[in-house]
DNA sequence: CCACAGCATGAAAACGTTGCCATCAGCCCC
DNA sequence: GGGGCTGATGGCAACGTTTTCATGCTGTGG
């Protein structure tokens, strides 16, 4: 910066003003400084400016993992929203050791980010409070916590709608394949199961749910089990597309026609759902990320309240993996 | 930090030494300072320390987009590798406007990151040179540029091996579906096509390749075209799994059995490839990211040369979408 | 018993910016 | 024509660290 000042023949203060776009600089001088900066291809160090302003120009994004397709979409949305506000995006993967190191890892954020966005972290109340200690605004995605900025979908209603779709087609023997890890039953897994159960209860039917590992294999195994039941289901709703894909695989291998003998439905609208012609509940991770990013920006700007809740829409995507059960003549009503 | 010093009853210097793990502090004092820091849940500001050391503790990751599954894997690997070295990961999406803003966006990195990792950016020589101006070490992934640290797979050989697999099964009418956007023919697209052509030439066969848009739809359309040829192919190799999935969809809709009538092969081992039982060429984006992250760390530490090349392995994953053509009795030899 | 080495510790400068205050010039109005 | 106002500009302290250098203390060898 000193070099630029010298090159333009002005003081440090003036260069700083120009580069910050602050007022109080003659247009002519402003231009000259701008040119000098460009010529020396100079950019301000966020480090130094952050030191004095207290703002870092960075937003931390915390996710349990980055591998699944879902997170790429969210990150893309976040990146676009934050980039538009000239904020940089710091990405942290806290991994499965969250219970032990989770809050420790949160600390490095302390004065190194202006805001924190969590992605599908499924934080407990206590963890939320611990993050509050970091002292920066926080936006949660994938979960809804009262009093805190959240961007989420209505998992409960999504699963209920999916179930109603199957019910309306005339199915009565409907099974649900859910997931949980040995130590973790995620909030969205809980909500989807609850939504399914509520819809079943609404139709006066007994729920029939299996819980397996949250991956394709879980779906494969669960479907195998369902196929060997005394009276197999005529429709299956999976907690998410990955499970549905596993189930689909078992069905294909067993020669069970979909939707001929069994209707299959997923949740999330995974990239590959269209390949399998899988009926599913669509949600857009990109839009979720975009909304969360914008919310973070607005909270920082003071134009949004730090307890804003944004519900993202879900929508049933009808493809060809669901149909009326054999022998039915249409809507059950 | 001052608070910690006061709390522990020592000077700022000592606190700094302890927190940096620098030698020259009595074990007893070290412990006391550590405890104070923990109690006040204090962490150093990377901003301030970077200001004086010149190191930012951050590595910038630049990708054209973050949406596709591939990038999530790379980011996960990078995050793990960088996190292990206590480096933070800054993620930038430069988008499709790369031609215009590409080098402009590179500038903000100037003194805000210790190293730059590009992911599948397919940089030209000139763009590389422009990035050199940033003045920090740079690691390229998804492309091989001599004289610069690169992590890549051998796309050419992967495609050649895939082609040989089909040849060995006895196929002779093999089509290749490649991709390009109106303005962009990526390096890996070029290499895979070249590898396929070389293998075909090695077998004394004429290549038969189509080029479409780089998505499922491109695959669907191309497959439609192939099916209406005078003599359709008995095997199809797609540049990547997304295209193969599109092709698979067309085949399914047309009632063409796979691999009964047509063998289909992809590239990349997409999450969903296993669902379709698609034979494909495996590469691990996670491992690529991990290797690139470690390489960046090593270059920063001075233990790796900044022109190191790392070739990641590819491997053919045999599933059930490829088989000998009808009427063949086995290996062609 | 003295000199000196070696180690633990503290003091202060420096890093690159911003923000406040002072200065200065030009202008308007009385 | 002078006083006060406005707007442009420069000087300087401060931000929170690291790093260098100085200082004091302890133990050791001559």
Q: Which two tokens stand for residue A170?
A: 């005339």
Res. B328: pLDDT tops 70: no
- The average confidence (pLDDT) of chain B is 91
At what angle are helices A69-84 and B69-84 packed, to 10 degrees? 80
Q: pLDDT band at residue A276, thresholds of 50, 70 and 90? A: confident
pLDDT of residue A272: 84
Given a contact cutoff of 8 angstroms between Cβ atoms, the answer to whether B196 and B176 are in contact is: yes
Residues near strand D (C-beta below 7 A) are A 9-14, 17, 23-26, 28-30, 48, 51-52, 111; B 1-2, 12-13, 16-17, 19-20, 22, 42, 44-45, 47-49, 51-53
Q: pLDDT band at residue A194, thresholds of 50, 70 and 90? A: very high
Res. B173: pLDDT tops 80: yes
Q: Is the peptide bond preceding residue A259 cis, with omega within 30 degrees of 0?
A: yes
Which one of A68, A107, A245 has the shortest CB-CB distance to B72?
A68
Q: A92-96, A139-143, A294-298: which range is least confident on average?
A: A92-96
pLDDT in tens, A232-261: 999 999 999 999 999 999 999 899 999 999
Res. B167: pLDDT tops 60: yes
Q: pLDDT band at residue A86, thresholds of 50, 70 and 90? A: confident
**If you search the block for the tokens 């894909």, which residue do you land on?**
A245
Report the C-alpha gap between B103 and A282 in whole angstroms: 36
Q: How many CB atoms lie within 10 A of CB B20?
A: 11
Spatial neighbors of A190 by CB under 8 A, at least 6 apart, are none
Which one of B73, B112, B245 has the shortest CB-CB distance to A46?
B112
Strand order from edge to edge, sheet including A235-238 = A209-212, A174-179, A235-238, A263-265
Q: What is the mean pLDDT of residues A181-185?
A: 76
Q: Which residue has the higher pLDDT, B66 or A1?
A: B66
Contacts 24+ apart (CB under 8 A), A269-272: A269/A241, A269/A317, A270/A69, A270/A240, A270/A241, A270/A242, A270/A245, A270/B272, A271/A69, A271/B69, A271/B242, A271/B272, A272/A241, A272/A245, A272/B245, A272/B270, A272/B271, A272/B272, A272/B275
Contact A90 B90 (CB under 8 A): yes
Q: Are strands A315-317 and A309-312 parallel, antiparallel or unpaired?
A: unpaired
Given a contact cutoff of 8 angstroms between Cβ atoms, the answer to whether A73 and A284 are in contact is: yes
B265 to chain A, closest Cα gap in Å? 15
Q: Chain D positions under 7 Å from a protein CB?
A: 7-12, 14-20
Q: Number of A:B CB contacts under 8 A?
A: 145
The CA angle B35-B38-B39, to the nearest 5 degrees, is 85
Q: Which two tokens stand for residue B236?
A: 């199809």
Hey, of B67, B134, B246, which one would you mutate to test binding to chain A, going by the most A CBs within 10 A of its CB? B67
Give percent of chain B with pLDDT exceeding 90.
Answer: 75
Q: pLDDT band at residue A328, thresholds of 50, 70 and 90? A: low
pLDDT in tens, B253-269: 899 999 999 999 999 99
pLDDT of residue B135: 82
**If you search the block for the tokens 């997931």, which residue do you land on?**
A179
Given a contact cutoff of 8 angstroms between Cβ atoms, the answer to whether B28 and B35 are in contact is: no
Dihedral over alpha carbons A192, A193, A198, A200 (to 10 degrees): 110
Res. A54: pLDDT tops 60: yes
Report the C-alpha gap between B308 and B299 in whole angstroms: 9
Given a contact cutoff of 8 angstroms between Cβ atoms, the answer to whether A280 and A245 are in contact is: no
Q: Are strands A88-93 and A149-153 parallel, antiparallel or unpaired?
A: unpaired
Contact B133 A43 (CB under 8 A): no
**Dihedral sign for Cα atoms in the order A169, A172, A177, A183:** positive
Report the C-alpha gap between A63 and A118 in whole angstroms: 6
Res. A313: pLDDT tops 50: yes
Spatial neighbors of B183 by CB under 8 A, at least 6 apart, are none
Please, what is the end-to-end C-alpha distance for chain A in angstroms? 75
pLDDT in tens, A199-212: 999 999 999 999 99
- Bridge partner list, A153: A312
B204 to chain A, closest Cα gap in Å? 35
pLDDT of residue B98: 53
pLDDT of residue B106: 58
Whose C1' is closest to the CA of A49: which nucleotide? Answer: C17
Chain B residue numbers touching A274 (CB-CB < 8 A): 216, 249
Q: B98-102, B150-154, B231-235, B285-289: which range is least confident on average?
A: B98-102
Res. A293: pLDDT tops 90: yes
- The average confidence (pLDDT) of chain A is 91
pLDDT of residue A332: 43
pLDDT of residue B133: 76
Burial of B189-211, coded b for 16+ CB within 10 Å and e otherwise, reads bebbbebbbebbeeeebeeebbb
Q: Which two tokens stand for residue B301?
A: 């530490």
Res. A333: pLDDT tops 50: no
Q: How many CB atoms lie within 10 A of CB A110?
A: 17
Residues near strand C (C-beta below 7 A) are A 1-2, 12-13, 16, 19-20, 22, 42, 44-45, 48-49, 51-53; B 9-14, 17, 23-26, 29-30, 48, 51-52, 111
Helices (H), chain A: 2-8, 12-20, 27-39, 46-53, 69-84, 98-106, 125-132, 155-169, 187-202, 216-227, 241-254, 285-301
Q: Are strands A315-317 and A280-282 parallel, antiparallel or unpaired?
A: antiparallel
A71 to chain B: nearest residue by CA?
A: B72
Q: Which two tokens stand for residue A327?
A: 């022998």
Chain B residue numbers touching A272 (CB-CB < 8 A): 245, 270-272, 275
Please compute, for residue B308, the number of CA atoms within 13 A of its CA located in the half-sphere on the CB side: 21
Q: What is the mean pLDDT of residues A36-50?
A: 89
| Environment class of B28 (CB within 10 Å of its CB; exposed 0-12, middle 13-18, buried 19+) | exposed
Q: What is the mean pLDDT of residues A299-306?
A: 93
pLDDT in tens, B60-108: 999 999 999 999 999 999 999 999 998 999 999 987 655 445 555 556 6
pLDDT of residue B100: 45
pLDDT of residue B108: 67
pLDDT of residue A100: 45
Concatenating the DSSP letter of every residue in B173-222 gives SEEEEEE--SS---HHHHHHHHHHHHHHHHTT----EEEE-SSHHHHHHH
Res. A39: pLDDT tops 50: yes
Which one of B41, B50, B274 has the shortest CB-CB distance to A47?
B50
pLDDT of residue B105: 55
């Amino acid at each position: 910066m000193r070099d630029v000042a010298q090159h333009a023949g002005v003081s440090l203060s003036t260069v700083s003003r120009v580069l910050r776009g602050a007022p109080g600089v003659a247009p002519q001088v402003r231009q000259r400084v701008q040119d000098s900066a460009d010529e020396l291809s100079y950019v301000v160090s966020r480090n130094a400016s952050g030191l004095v302003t207290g703002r870092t120009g960075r937003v931390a994004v915390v996710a349990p993992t980055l591998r699944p397709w879902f997170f790429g979409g969210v990150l893309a949305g976040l990146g676009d929203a934050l980039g538009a506000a000239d904020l940089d995006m710091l990405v942290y993967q806290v991994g499965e050791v969250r219970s032990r190191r989770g809050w420790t890892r949160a600390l490095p954020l302390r004065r190194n980010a202006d805001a924190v966005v969590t992605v599908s972290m499924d934080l407990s109340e206590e963890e939320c409070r611990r993050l509050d200690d970091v002292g920066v605004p926080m936006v949660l995605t994938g979960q809804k916590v009262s009093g805190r900025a959240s961007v989420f979908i209505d998992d409960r209603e999504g699963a209920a709608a999916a179930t109603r779709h199957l019910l309306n087609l005339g199915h009565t023997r409907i099974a649900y394949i859910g997931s949980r890890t040995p130590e973790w039953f995620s909030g969205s897994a809980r909500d989807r199961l609850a939504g399914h159960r509520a819809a079943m209860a609404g139709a006066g039917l007994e729920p029939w749910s299996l819980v397996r590992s949250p991956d394709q294999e879980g779906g494969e195994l669960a479907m195998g089990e369902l196929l060997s039941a005394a009276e197999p289901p005529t429709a299956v709703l999976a907690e998410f597309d990955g499970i549905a894909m596993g189930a689909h695989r078992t069905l294909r291998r067993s020669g069970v026609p979909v939707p001929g003998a069994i209707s299959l439905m997923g949740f999330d609208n995974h990239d590959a759902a269209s390949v399998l012609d899988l009926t599913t509940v669509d949600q857009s991770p990109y839009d979720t990320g975009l909304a969360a990013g914008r919310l973070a920006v607005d909270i920082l700007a003071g134009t949004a309240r730090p307890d804003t809740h944004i519900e993202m829409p879900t929508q049933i995507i009808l493809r060809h993996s669901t149909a009326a059960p054999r022998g039915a003549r249409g809507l059950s009503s």
